[in-house]
Amino acid sequence: MSNEALIGSSGLEDLLELFGDSVTVSDIIASNVLGEISAAIAKKRIQSNMTQKEFASYMCVSQGMVSKWEGGDYNFSIRTLADIAEKLDMELTVGLNLKGRDMQVKLPCGSRDGRPDAP
């Protein structure tokens, strides 16, 4: 079966197994978040009836930067997101939430008290 066929019929776990050596869960999460941010920026620009060039001028950036933002090809800093949200009168929400389990602290290699084991 080709990779395209596998991807078309696979769940997240199957994709992670298929690309396990090169794609991590954090890669997938980051791509998803970047996609949401990119879509929100593009939607706001389109709702404002602006071309990328007009929008770039309004945002005081280059048209190429707007293209990167909208294409998901830009790794935003929190500061940049805050600046964009302020300029576009949008709400910025950033957070980390615990999954439905207790937080566990991983100790260094075999340590029981946070200190490395003696040689």
* Domain ranges, ordered by start, for the chain: 3-88
Q: Tell me which fold the domain 3-88 belongs to.
A: 434 Repressor (Amino-terminal Domain) (1.10.260)
> For position 6, what pLDDT does the model report?
45
- Residues 62, 65: Cα–Cα separation, whole Å: 5
Q: Is the predicted pLDDT of residue 116 greater than 60, yes or no? A: no
Taking the CB of residue 114, how many other CB atoms lie within 10 A of it?
8
> For position 47, what pLDDT does the model report?
96
> What DSSP letter does each residue of 31-46 carry, written as one string?
HHHHHHHHHHHHHHHH
> For position 111, what pLDDT does the model report?
44
Please give the residue that has the higher pLDDT: either 22 or 91: 91
Q: Is the predicted pLDDT of residue 11 greater than 90, yes or no? A: no
Q: What are the tens digits of pLDDT across the range 54-89?
A: 999 999 999 999 999 999 889 999 999 999 999 999
The residue type of 99 is K
Dihedral sign for Cα atoms in the order 62, 64, 70, 75: negative
